[in-house]
Amino acid sequence: MEHRKLIETSCSHFNNDPRRMLDILWQIQNSLGWISPDTMELIAQLTNTYRVEVEGVVTFYAFFMSKPQGQFVIHLCEDIIDRYAGMLPVQNAFEQILGIKVGETTKDGLFSLHLTSCIGMSDQAPAALINDMVVTNLSPNKTKILIRTLKKTRNLASLVKTFGDGNNSHELIKSMVNNNILLKGDVLLGDININAGLNKAFSLPPEEVIATVQASNFKGRGGAGYSSAKKWLAAAATQADKRFVICNADEGEPGTFKDRVLLTERAELLFEGMTTVAYAIGSQHGILYLRAEYRYLLPYLESLLTKRRNEGLLGTDILVDETENTRFSFDIRIQLGAGAYICGEETSLISSCEGKRGEPKNKPPFPAVSGYLGYPTVVNNVETFCNIPRIVDKGAEWFTSIGTPESSGTKLLSVCGDCTRPGIYEFPMGITLGEVLSLAGAKDPEAIQIGGASGVMVGRADFERQLCFEDLPTAGAIMIFSSQRNILEIADYFMHFFIEESCGYCTPCRVGNVFLKQGLEKIMAGKGETSDLKYLQDLGKTIIQTSRCGLGHSSPKPILSTMKNFPLVYAALLKEHPDGRQAGFNIQHALDESRIIAKRRSIVFDPDLGGD
Amino acid sequence: MSDNKKITLTIDGKTIQAESGQSIMNACDAQGIYIPRLCDSTGLVPQGSCRVCSVKVNGRVVAACTQPAEDGANIEHESDEIQGYRKDLVRMLFHEGNHLCPICEASGRCELQAMAYRFGISQATTYPYLQPVRPVDASHPDIALDNNRCILCGRCIRASRDVDGKNVFEYVGRGIHKRIGVNGDCLADTNADLNDYAMSLEVCPVGCIIRKGEGFFSPVGERQYDSDKIGSNIENHTAHSSLGKLIKVHQIDPNDAIHDDIDQSNVNEDKS
Amino acid sequence: MKKKRIATTSLAGCFGCHMSLLDIDERIFDLLELVEFDRSPLNDLKKFTRRCDIGLIEGGCCNEENVHVLREFRQNCDILVAVGQCAMMGGLPVMRNAIMHSDDPLRECLDEAFCTPKVLNPENQIPNDPALPLLLDKVYTCVDVVKIDYQIPGCPPSGETIWRALNALVKNEAPALEYDLIKYD
């Protein structure tokens, strides 16, 4: 086989270890452009797995290609925010200038065009990925210039004329992405003292580090509001010779981009946080699970890890206590994801780190007891890890003085949609939604999606509510929709998103979401009846109750929350059909093809021929 | 898994004894209480994907096949709510694939069909029929695969991997496009054999795996589920042709050989 | 008790369900005590003489005439019952929905049926007499086209099943079938 050598080298670079399957596939795809069946066969032989298992992994992730691709693979973000920012004209422009449709490759083998879920650029939409390069604020005109430039230069770097703010201009990033930090709080985005927290932690016994965080009433920033310290205690208490600390940087929730900014501007704080937690629970190994959409940050993040290794902050024996005869070693590897929203779910993320299909695992056992490769594992998200060194450095009392009694500290919000100042805001917990909207310059806000697709959509009645765990919890996405927007169209897009991103493991999520979307489409087409509302409600309840993981527990929410908070939008489209006919059935449409083939019209259904 | 410590559960108000470490399903099976199931099969590692075995434990709906029984747990099993979910799930599977019972060789011994019979499903739902067009693989001389009937229970995957040690099947794709892939371009490319446990009648609950040249074993009226409800063997503690047979399971993990650096005691036995 | 008026028809079906109705044997006399038949192939009545209490539909919809008849039944019957797998979910005719992959599915279907070397049809003619109803783009189940009140499953439902279901329906009850009467084949 032609590429045998290359595949062998890639596999042996990762010790032919099937647990590094994602890394192996990335390396091979970066060279060959796609993973052919023959490639899968060879990988399977080299890693002692089966071709169908490799195929299972390849076909699970959106960014692994099982068909030949062009030299430049364009992934245009089709998120609802991008759509409202003008993504469809951009898509048309791409299709026109390239002469291909979505999913196709140009004849010259230069370009492939795909649509993808949110790539975390909602504050600079429409955006796209061209290979690993992010292009933002697209317009049909800009699109044409991009393609022309690429055709001429064949060089991605030539696309970036001006760099974004902050570290986006760092020589290892050199990206046009902007941070858009619009409000700096005291905890994360204000002035911070790097490594102060870690050094303080090293001066304390591990139990006291956990105790400090526990005293600060800190809750995980992933949205569920679970006490991080409790997770750590469970992991620390589990007997094992290895423990793992994993950072979830798979920020896939539509409308969320705060982790991207933290990874750009506070990556050292993040690594410091992971090291602090590792020290607290006695872990030697860390993994940063970076979503593939952010792989333009990979060289920069790797360089920071190297820097910290050189500074003695990562690696073997970074803390040696001669009197107690204890040694602490900790290092971090970066696991690149490959395009799967479900991998934001902690057990799916662990499956993915193990080189498998990113499907959730059964709980119990919980990851803190048996996670990555069966070892106790702590999974926290980027914002959570960034908070930890700050709490250890400044103390629990300082932290609880910020926010509400139930929710201490600050919250990063990614604000996007119909507003004049989209970007990142660090607010103290408990800020009202209305305050956020006015600071962001919301234009005629009608409906706000809190927490991305898996969150809820609220209306004006809820603008006085507080963003905190005890009132309106959010993982950080605030999508603003003005009264000009069609609420059902938004809910419909979110259903499309969940159908695309469902792993398909369990019946209710795999099948039920498809039915939910079809039911909503029927209503949108003006063919719904009152009974359809109950149908959607019952179906949604079955999906929420019986699904295996958080995706299915949330996926009906866009429909259920809009039905609850915007009942009139639905009611206006419903129409009863007392004649007992199904509005969804269109006899004219059903006969169209037949008329052409038979070259005659219907005696029954063509009115001018006497039909009804 | 079981450490023989006795625990007590309440199921629909009835108190039963179980062994610590048992799944809720195994605990109930031992007491003659049948919890409906499709993706679980005796001798295979449970994976909790069909969700038909949903029960409510202390207010939360979980899959009985994978959920460990905990001392003092209060389990809701045949309430209207839970039965409703189960019916919905079975209907979803009927509507997801092309289940044309009149032309299916598995009719009468099909577990999906039998489950619908057990649940008394005779009336229409509002669910749409998805009518997929999935390729049929008839390449193998002895076995054909009609994927249009597949309910993605994955029993063939686990049977081939854990019992036969072959990995003929694996899940590929995701979401509604998820399907069972074979280890090659088609089934004839694999080392699948008619004598594999994965190809036996016990494994495929529907008519997806077809043994060529066999079929229509019993006349209508005398088929497996014509008069016996699915699960009645558990409820009546009677030996049954399919479930009474114990299959020896060898757990074969292709990773074992190269990853002996992992302390096995720490590795979760449940690989699914 | 006033006799219930029943109409029956066979759309895209095989008349097997009607045959099965006759399988209730001598109980047909008992049935005639309870019901009288309006439009039905059993009495060769082609049009509704008046409004009916119950309509029994065999078969799904594969052509325009099926749709027309089904809508007439919906319009003229208080309770509409889908009898058998074809009426419920398309049955055998619905298999054509699964062999159609192209953008031009009906053409593909007709070519497969009439224009392959497998069939003896030297001129590759597709039947197209003006008297033939136009085919639909695919096969629809009854519930796709009109609202259906009840179903009687089976291919065909046994005489016993139909007998029980009809007995319930004439008493204005929902047909509740016991375990051995629910069959999908």
A504:B177 CB<8 A: yes
Minimum CA–CA partner of A600 in chain C: C130
Sheet containing A445-450: give its strands across.
A181-183, A423-428, A410-417, A477-482, A445-450, A456-458
Do residues B108 and B223 touch, judged by C-beta distance below 8 A?
yes
Minimum CA–CA partner of B171 in chain A: A56
- Confirm whether C122 is domain-assigned: no
Domain extent for C39: 4-94+135-181
Question: What mean pLDDT do residues A18-38 have?
Answer: 97
Q: Which chains touch B (3 or more CB pairs under 8 A)?
A: A, C
Which among A218, A245, A248, A206 is positioned nearest to A378, based on CA atoms?
A: A245
pLDDT at C116: 86
Last residue of a domain, one of B167, B186, B214: B214
User: How far is the C-alpha of B35 from the C-alpha of B52, rounded, in Å?
Assistant: 9
SS3 A478: strand
- Confirm whether C27 is domain-assigned: yes
Q: In this predicted model, what pLDDT tens digit does every residue of A437-456 receive, in sequence order? A: 999 999 999 999 999 999 99
How deeply is A461 buried, as exposed, middle or buried, from its count of CB atoms within 10 A (0-12, 13-18, 19+)?
Answer: exposed
User: How far is the C-alpha of B247 from the C-alpha of A565, rounded, in Å?
Assistant: 54
pLDDT at B15: 95
pLDDT at B244: 35
Residue A571 to residues A330, A527, A534, Cα–Cα distance (Å): 58, 12, 12
Is C137's pLDDT higher than 50? yes
Which among A263, A258, A226 is positioned nearest to A247, based on CA atoms?
A: A263
User: How far is the C-alpha of A130 from the C-alpha of C50, rounded, in Å?
Assistant: 69
Question: What mean pLDDT do residues A24-41 have?
Answer: 97
User: How far is the C-alpha of A288 from the C-alpha of A248, rounded, in Å?
Assistant: 7
Question: What mean pLDDT do residues C71-91 have?
Answer: 96
C147:A581 CB<8 A: yes
In sign, the C-alpha dihedral spanning A595, A598, A601, A602 is: negative
Write down the residue that tokens 């024996």 correspond to: A317
Note if the bond before A68 is cis, omega within 30 degrees: no
Topology adopted by domain A72-161: Glutaredoxin (3.40.30)
Residue of B100, B134, B229 to mutate when probing chain C, most C C-beta within 10 A: B100
Q: Which of residues 198-237 of B touch A (CB under 8 A)?
A: none
- Residue B119 sits in the same domain as residue B155: yes
A546:B85 CB<8 A: yes
Cα dihedral: A205, A207, A209, A213 (round 10): -170
- Residue B208 sits in the same domain as residue B132: yes
A585:C144 CB<8 A: yes
- Confirm whether C82 is domain-assigned: yes
At residue A323 the predicted structure's pLDDT band, cuts being 50, 70 and 90, is confident
- Confirm whether B56 is domain-assigned: yes
SS3 A442: strand
Q: In this predicted model, what pLDDT tens digit does every residue of C28-59 receive, in sequence order? A: 999 999 999 999 999 999 999 999 999 999 99
CATH of the domain at B150: 3.30.70.20
**Residue B17 neighbours by CB under 8 Å, 6+ apart:** B6, B7, B8, B9, B31
Return the structure tokens found at B39: 């993706």
In sign, the C-alpha dihedral spanning B152, B154, B155, B161 is: positive
Question: What mean pLDDT do residues A510-522 have?
Answer: 98
Is the pTM higher than 0.90? The answer reads: yes
Minimum CA–CA partner of B154 in chain A: A505
- Confirm whether B227 is domain-assigned: no
- Confirm whether C32 is domain-assigned: yes
Q: Given C74, C137, C140, which is nearest A580 (Cβ)? A: C74
The amino acid present at A376, given as its one-letter code, is P
Residue A170 to residues A263, A271, B25, Cα–Cα distance (Å): 13, 18, 57
CATH 3.40.50.11540 domain residues, chain A: 183-400
User: How far is the C-alpha of B1 from the C-alpha of A485, rounded, in Å?
Assistant: 55
Q: In this predicted model, what pLDDT tens digit does every residue of A378-428 receive, in sequence order? A: 999 999 999 999 999 999 999 999 999 999 999 999 999 999 999 999 999
**Residue A366 neighbours by CB under 8 Å, 6+ apart:** A234
Q: Given C71, C134, C140, which is nearest A594 (Cβ)? A: C134
Do residues A127 and A135 touch, judged by C-beta distance below 8 A?
yes
- For A469, phi then psi, to 5°, come to -65, -30
pLDDT over 90 for what percent of chain A? Answer: 95
- Residue B52 sits in the same domain as residue B70: yes
pLDDT at B262: 40
- CB count in 10 Å sphere of residue A470: 13
How many CA atoms are closer than 13 Å to the CA of A261, on its beta-carbon side? Answer: 27
Residue-wise DSSP of chain B: -----EEEEEETTEEEEEETT-BHHHHHHHTTPPPP-SS--TTS-----S-TTEEEETTEEEETTTSBP-TT-EEE-SSHHHHHHHHHHHHHHHHHTT--GGG-TTTTT-HHHHHHHHTT--S--SPPP------EE--SSSEEEEGGG-----HHHHIIIIISS---EEEES-GGG-EEEESSSSGGGS---TTSGGGSTTT-SSSSEEETT----S-TTSSHHHHSPTTHHHHTT---TTTSS--------TTTTT-TTS-GGGS-S---
Residue B272 to residues A18, A44, A272, A470, B205, Cα–Cα distance (Å): 16, 20, 34, 36, 19
- For A434, phi then psi, to 5°, come to -60, -40
The amino acid present at A164, given as its one-letter code, is G
Which among A26, A20, A18 is positioned nearest to A47, based on CA atoms?
A: A18
pLDDT at B260: 41
Note if the bond before A365 is cis, omega within 30 degrees: yes
Our CA-based measurement puts residue C69 at a distance from the nearest CA of chain A, in whole angstroms, of: 11
User: How far is the C-alpha of B92 from the C-alpha of B128, rounded, in Å?
Assistant: 9
- Residue B13 sits in the same domain as residue B71: yes
B133:C85 CB<8 A: no
Residue A437 to residues A414, A423, A425, A433, B236, Cα–Cα distance (Å): 12, 12, 11, 6, 64
Q: Given A59, A532, A539, which is nearest B173 (Cβ)? A: A59
- Residue B90 sits in the same domain as residue B49: no
Our CA-based measurement puts residue C122 at a distance from the nearest CA of chain A, in whole angstroms, of: 19
- Confirm whether B54 is domain-assigned: yes
Do residues A448 and A432 touch, judged by C-beta distance below 8 A?
no
Our CA-based measurement puts residue A53 at a distance from the nearest CA of chain B, in whole angstroms, of: 6
Is A370's pLDDT higher than 90? yes
User: How far is the C-alpha of B152 from the C-alpha of B51, rounded, in Å?
Assistant: 12
- Residue B70 sits in the same domain as residue B51: yes
- Residue B31 sits in the same domain as residue B112: no
Q: Given A53, A240, A546, which is nearest B167 (Cβ)? A: A53
Chain B positions touching A512 (Cβ under 8 A) are 88, 92
Which CATH architecture does the domain made up of A488-571 adopt? Up-down Bundle (1.20)
Chain B positions touching A545 (Cβ under 8 A) are 54, 61, 85
- Residue B52 sits in the same domain as residue B144: no
Compute mean pLDDT per 10 residues along chain B, 272 residues long, and list them: 78 94 94 96 95 96 96 96 97 96 92 96 88 93 96 97 96 96 96 96 95 83 90 78 39 43 40 38
Our CA-based measurement puts residue C183 at a distance from the nearest CA of chain B, in whole angstroms, of: 7
Helical spans, DSSP H, in A99-190: 140-153
The one-character DSSP state at A164 is -
Domain extent for B68: 6-76
CATH of the domain at C168: 3.40.50.700
- Residue B119 sits in the same domain as residue B176: yes
Please tell me the total count of domains within chain B: 2
Please tell me the total count of domains within chain C: 1
- Residue B62 sits in the same domain as residue B94: no
B120:C177 CB<8 A: yes
- Residue B190 sits in the same domain as residue B70: no
Residue-wise DSSP of C52-80: EEEEEEESBEEEHHHHHHHHHHHHHEEEE
To the nearest whole number, what is the mean pLDDT of chain C?
93
Which CATH architecture does the domain made up of A183-400 adopt? 3-Layer(aba) Sandwich (3.40)
- Confirm whether B232 is domain-assigned: no
In sequence order, the β-bridge partners of residue B16 are B9
Note if the bond before A126 is cis, omega within 30 degrees: yes
User: How far is the C-alpha of A557 from the C-alpha of A559, rounded, in Å?
Assistant: 5
Return the structure tokens found at A267: 């990556």
Rounded to a whole number of angstroms, the distance between the first and last alpha carbons of chain B is 15
- Confirm whether C126 is domain-assigned: no
User: How far is the C-alpha of A495 from the C-alpha of B176, rounded, in Å?
Assistant: 13
A37:B181 CB<8 A: no
pLDDT: is A612 or B94 the higher one?
Answer: B94
- Residue B88 sits in the same domain as residue B169: yes
Is A612's pLDDT higher than 80? no
B263:A241 CB<8 A: yes
User: How far is the C-alpha of B25 from the C-alpha of B33, rounded, in Å?
Assistant: 9
Write down the residue that tokens 């040696």 correspond to: A320
SS3 A96: helix
Q: Given C85, C89, C98, which is nearest B148 (Cβ)? A: C98
Chain A positions touching B272 (Cβ under 8 A) are 361-362
Minimum CA–CA partner of C107 in chain A: A597
Q: In this predicted model, what pLDDT tens digit does every residue of A375-391 receive, in sequence order? A: 999 999 999 999 999 99
At residue C101 the predicted structure's pLDDT band, cuts being 50, 70 and 90, is low
Indicate left, alpha or beta for A16 from its phi (over 0: left) and psi (-120 to 50: alpha).
left
User: How far is the C-alpha of C168 from the C-alpha of C174, rounded, in Å?
Assistant: 6
pLDDT at A224: 78
Q: Which chains touch A (3 or more CB pairs under 8 A)?
A: B, C
C185:B121 CB<8 A: no
CATH number of A4-60: 1.10.10
To the nearest whole number, what is the mean pLDDT of chain A?
95
User: How far is the C-alpha of B87 from the C-alpha of B104, rounded, in Å?
Assistant: 22
CATH of the domain at B24: 3.10.20.740
Q: In this predicted model, what pLDDT tens digit does every residue of A152-169 receive, in sequence order? A: 999 999 999 999 999 999
CATH 1.20.1440.230 domain residues, chain A: 488-571
Residue A476 to residues A425, A452, A453, Cα–Cα distance (Å): 10, 8, 12
Residue of A17, A499, A515 to mutate when probing chain B, most B C-beta within 10 A: A515
For chain B, what is the radius of gyration of the CA atoms? 19
E-assigned strands of A431-536?
A: 445-450, 456-458, 477-482
pLDDT at B3: 57
Question: Which ipTM was obtained for this model?
Answer: 0.94
User: How far is the C-alpha of B199 from the C-alpha of A514, rounded, in Å?
Assistant: 31
Q: In this predicted model, what pLDDT tens digit does every residue of A570-580 receive, in sequence order? A: 999 999 999 99
pLDDT: is A173 or B227 the higher one?
Answer: A173
Q: Which chains touch C (3 or more CB pairs under 8 A)?
A: A, B
Chain C positions touching B112 (Cβ under 8 A) are none
